Amino acid sequence: MSLQRFVLKRGLITVPLLLGISLLTFGMVHAIPGDPIDFITLFTELDPQTEMEIRAEYGLDQPVYIQYIDWVTSAATGDFGRSIITRDPVTSEIMERLPYTLVMGIMAFGVTLVTAIPTGVIAAYYRDTKIDQASRVFALLGIAVPNFLLGLLLLLVFASWLDLFPILPPTSKGILSYDMLVYTLLPAITIGTGSTALLMRLMRSSMVEELDKDYVRTARAKGLPERTVVQKHVLRNSLISVVTVAAIQVAFIISGSVVVEIVFSYPGIGRLLVNRVGNRDFPVIQAIVLLIGVAVILANFVADVLYAYLDPRIRY
């Protein structure tokens, strides 16, 4: 099977996945205890007449499956309704904050890949030396330290003591401003550290395994320089298992952003989500949870395509 056909086939599978995600999101949000009406009216007693009117306004008088169909069909066009709390369109509320989270997530993933893969390769190549042991210690720490603690530590050291970063994000300057991008490094490193540690060790063990394979000797016997042997032959095969896990890390990075955005007072969708969960702002919660689900599905799709690209045996 050619790569194109593989991509097409794999792409089709995401359609039922997306439907499933939307069902789950909708179902779970509706299973949260508490009637949204109470939050809309701030727990005031209402006469039945007014309550009916408000329910009708938000479509809450319809049977649940009608509510779901209404929600999915308008969500498909990018319309998630209006926030119960602010009365603003959900889409614009999210779009305002999404760039912040996206930039932070991409930065976190970038930091992860840029540090994890080379250090993993080095640890594998110099296995069982001091370098390898140092990477093992770092990995252990990286996995063990929780995000919120690491975030606070980074703020303490780099923002408070060393004064290299402001303590609060310079949000007013916009996400693409230099100051904001620099500030975003801190939460990005915070989120990325756990994934870096994990991927580095995985890269190392995968590489150690590949280095022992016969084809490496074949490549050396061809007289190729050691650099080519490692970078061309070994690295590609070692990356196969790393790519899959890296894609799953995207999910961790997204979910990690929720906590980290609060630690850093970062104006992204994670913080929005936490705020609105407290207020039972269903339209916003649903939209964000759906967005996160879609992002994870997309990441997995990309991982599978990369996987097939790297390992031709997968395409069959």
Partner 1 sequence: MAMLEVEDLNVRFYTDDGVVRATNDLSYRIEAGERFGVVGESGAGKSVTSLALMRLIDEPGVIESGEIRFKGENILEMDDEEMRSLRGNEIAMIFQDAGTALNPSYTVGEQISEAIRYHLDLDEAAARERAIETLESVGIPSAAERYGDYPHEFSGGMQQRVVIAIALSCDPDLIIADEPTTALDVTIEAQILELLEEVATEYDTAIQLITHDLGVVAEFCDRVMVMYAGHPVEMAPVEDVYYDPQHPYTVGLMSSIPRIGDDRERLQTIPGRMPDLIEMPPGCNFHPRCPYAEESCTRVEPRLVDVETGEPADPINSDAQTAACLAHTGELDGELDYEVTVRGEDGPAESGPASGSPGVTDR
Q: Which of 8, 157, 213, 231 binds partner 1 (CB under 8 A)?
A: 213
Residue 237 CB, shortest distance to partner 1, in Å, is: 6
Q: Is 30 near partner 1 (CB under 8 A)?
A: no
229 vs 81: CA distance, rounded Å: 56
**Contacts of partner 1 in 231-270 (CB under 8 A):** 232-233, 236-237, 240
Q: Is 204 near partner 1 (CB under 8 A)?
A: no
Q: Is 74 near partner 1 (CB under 8 A)?
A: no
**Contacts of partner 1 in 178-197 (CB under 8 A):** none
Residue 224 CB, shortest distance to partner 1, in Å, is: 6
**Contacts of partner 1 in 145-174 (CB under 8 A):** none
**Per CB under 8 A, which region of 16-24, 65-73, 192-200, 208-216 contacts partner 1?**
208-216
248 vs 296: CA distance, rounded Å: 8
Q: Which of 27, 59, 166, 225 binds partner 1 (CB under 8 A)?
A: 225
Q: Is 5 near partner 1 (CB under 8 A)?
A: no
Q: Which of 218, 231, 265, 275 binds partner 1 (CB under 8 A)?
A: 218
Residue 260 CB, shortest distance to partner 1, in Å, is: 36
Q: What is the DSSP string of the chain?
A: --HHHHHHHHHHHHHHHHHHHHHHHHHHHHHSSS-HHHHHTTT----HHHHHHHHHHTTTTS-HHHHHHHHHHHHHTT---B-TTT-SBHHHHHHHHHHHHHHHHHHHHHHHHHHHHHHHHHHHHTTTSHHHHHHHHHHHHHHHS-HHHHHHHHIIIIIIIS-SS-SS--GGG-TTSHHHHHHHHHHHHHHHHHHHHHHHHHHHHHHHHHHTSHHHHHHHHTT--HHHIIIIIIHHHHHHHHHHHHHHHHHHHHHHHHHHHHHTT--SHHHHHHHHHHTT-HHHHHHHHHHHHHHHHHHHHHHHHHHHHH-GGGG-
**Per CB under 8 A, which region of 77-85, 158-166, 211-219, 253-261 contacts partner 1?**
211-219
Q: Which of 121, 155, 219, 285 binds partner 1 (CB under 8 A)?
A: 219
Q: Which of 2, 178, 221, 227 binds partner 1 (CB under 8 A)?
A: 221
Residue 304 CB, shortest distance to partner 1, in Å, is: 16
Q: Is 227 near partner 1 (CB under 8 A)?
A: no
Q: Where does this chain bind partner 1 (CB under 8 A)?
A: 213-215, 217-225, 228, 232-233, 236-237, 240, 310-313
